[in-house]
Amino acid sequence: MYGRDFFVELCTLPKVVVHDIIIIGGGLAGLTAAVDLSQQGYDVVLFEVNTYPHHKVCGEYVSNEVRPYLERLGIDLLAKGAVAITDFEISTLSGYKAATKLPLGGMGMSRYAFDHLLYKKAIGQGVLCNFSKVTSVTYQNDRFNVKTNNESLYAKVVIGAYGKRSALDKALRRDFSFEKQGWLAVKGHFSHPSFPQNLVALHNFEGGYGGLSRTESGAVNFCYLTTYESFKRYNDIAKFNRIVVAENKFLKQFLNESQPVFDSPLTIAQISFQKKKPIVDHILMCGDTAGLIHPLCGNGMAMAIHSAKLASTVIGEYFRNATYDRSQMEQDYLSVWNRTFKQRLWYGRKLQHVLLQKKYLEVGIKTVGNSKSLLRFIINKTHGKTIV
Ligand SMILES: Cc1cc2nc3c(=O)[nH]c(=O)nc-3n(C[C@H](O)[C@H](O)[C@H](O)COP(=O)(O)OP(=O)(O)OC[C@H]3O[C@@H](n4cnc5c(N)ncnc54)[C@H](O)[C@@H]3O)c2cc1C
């Protein structure tokens, strides 16, 4: 039998705090979900490895489809200096260039400013932000245990928004994390005297392509994606830029006329475009953690924000409605995620395949470029409708 001392000891044990929501990763997906869910009144803890502000490898063109939703959350990018972008152009190695108006248009804002803005909004609304790396997540008895090297926290719901690739993927035994990926990306800001304010340009070179657009600071962001196959012959960014990137005359002209703002470019490797599962071990995955669209579509940021909205909606329902259980929440998230993004990702994969095959490239871009309606069709298929 248990004596009185046992019960006294039991009552003095520290109580385990179970948070409503823990979000792993403070990029666009994680921060947007944090802002949305804290506005709904829930207790949100967010884990992020890096303090803000910090630069990130990204094309920094965000589609207008998420603008009304961001504004509803109280985030007005144009008021914070984002550049309105209305025009798109694409070029091939031979110097052919096609241009069109963007059906919805978008904005140019550095991730340095964008993520920082969302972070300030989130902490202003009471989100608890922990700057440490999550090393494990386990689910048992209807709650999650999230661990870093020196903390162990509990939550009813966990959102995985830790980006393209993380050690956590291996811990969660996700298939793609055990395979080597053949892509790397390079990004830098440049000062340029005359690059148009309202333009996002995509230029091809052998084994890759690069995007150019202005940001709120006035600098032009130049970000490119290339295969290892193409890069490894030089293994040096300056040399690669000179010999491969500058083979495209528009990029050559840009590099000749501009001055780098960063001391050295930022790079990331091991980028995976493989199919991923939007729910793993009951964790709702958002943004790139659920699936990364090929950057040439210029839609990954909007998808990250949109998926945060979808997750926040089902999570809100789960907390408010006693008859809506976890399995219903997961089922709904999976089906709305698939309905919203599956086709976009498919088009992105096909497009990337065509545009990086040397034999199709010229003819492909010329065919698309010569038909404004085909170009707009492709843009529409890789983008979504406006969300509020
Ligand atoms: C070369 C390139 C160019 C692109 N250009 C564009 C573009 O012009 N327009 C566009 O819309 N999209 C573009 N994208 C896609 C876009 O960058 C992504 O889709 C978007 O950043 C996804 O946001 P996210 O929040 O899912 O991930 P991220 O922004 O990557 O955020 C994930 C966060 O999680 C943190 N994290 C990781 N692991 C852990 C952990 N274990 N614990 C705690 N925190 C962790 C990271 O530090 C990071 O801050 C581009 C992508 C690439 C590769």
Q: Tell me how far the alpha carbon of residue 96 lies from the centroid of ligand 1, in angstroms.
A: 31
Q: The CATH number of 18-381 is which of 3.40.50.300, 3.50.50.60, 3.40.228.10, 3.40.50.2300?
A: 3.50.50.60
Report the alpha-carbon distance of residue 365 to residue 370 in Å, rounded. Answer: 8
Dihedral sign of CA atoms 37, 23, 174, 341 in order: positive
Q: Tell me how far the alpha carbon of residue 303 lies from the centroid of ligand 1, in angstroms.
A: 11
Protein residue whose Cα sits closest to atom 35 of ligand 1: 25
- Domain regions of the chain by residue span: 18-381
User: 133 CB less than 6 Å from ligand 1?
Assistant: yes
**pTM of the model as a whole:** 0.95
Protein residue whose Cα sits closest to atom 18 of ligand 1: 300
Q: Tell me how far the alpha carbon of residue 221 lies from the centroid of ligand 1, in angstroms.
A: 16
Token digits of residue 256 = 């000749």
Q: Tell me how far the alpha carbon of residue 30 lies from the centroid of ligand 1, in angstroms.
A: 10
Is residue 113 within 8 A of residue 63, CB to CB? The reply is no
Residue 78 Cα distances to 70, 83, 216, 347, 366, angstroms: 11, 7, 9, 29, 34
Report the alpha-carbon distance of residue 367 to residue 253 in Å, rounded. Answer: 25
Measured CA angle at 226 (ends 133, 29), to 5 deg: 35
Written as tens digits, the pLDDT of the chain (388 aa) is: 455 565 555 455 567 899 999 999 999 999 999 999 999 999 999 999 999 999 999 999 999 999 999 999 999 999 999 999 999 999 988 899 989 899 999 999 999 999 999 999 999 999 999 999 999 999 999 999 999 999 999 999 999 999 999 999 999 999 988 888 789 999 999 999 999 999 999 999 988 999 999 999 999 999 999 998 899 999 999 999 999 999 999 999 999 999 999 999 999 998 888 899 999 999 999 999 999 998 888 799 999 999 999 999 999 999 999 999 999 999 999 999 999 999 999 988 888 887 777 767 788 778 877 777 888 888 888 888 899 9
User: 26 CB less than 6 Å from ligand 1?
Assistant: yes
In this structure, which amino acid lies at residue 226?
A: T
